Amino acid sequence: MTATPHAFDVDKQNFEADVLQASLDTPILVDFWAPWCEPCKSLGPLLEKLAAEYNGAFRLGKVDVDAQPELAGVFGIRSIPTVMLVKDGQPFDGFTGALPEGQLREFLSRHVQPLQAPPAEAAIEDDAPETPEQAINRVQQAIAAEPDRPELKLDLAMALMRAGRTSAAAAELAALPANLATDARAVRLHHQLDLARALEGASPLDELQRRVLADGNDWAARDQLGVRLLLEGDAAAGLDQFLAIRQHARDWNDGQAKKRLLAAFATLDDAELVGRYRRRMTSLLF
User: Could you list the active site residues?
Assistant: 37, 40
Cα–Cα distance between 185 and 157 in angstroms, integer?
A: 10
Q: How far is CA 267 from CA 42, 138, 241, in A?
A: 31, 23, 17
Q: Which residues of 6-43 are buried (b: 16+ CB within 10 A; e: fewer)?
A: bbbebbeeebbebbbebbeeebbbbbbbeeebeebeeb
Cα–Cα distance for residue pair 74/69, rounded to 1 Å: 9
Residue type for 92, please? F
DSSP annotation of 180:
G
Looking at 15-75, list the stretches that DSSP marks H as alpha helix, in order from N- to C-terminal side: 38-54, 69-74
With CA atoms as reference, report the closest residue to 193 among 118, 95, 122, 266.
266
Alpha carbon 8 to its chain centroid, in Å, reads 21
- At residue 45, the 3 state secondary structure works out as helix
Please report which helix (H) or strand (E) contains residue 199, including its range. Answer: none
Count CB atoms within 10 A of the CB of residue 169.
Answer: 22
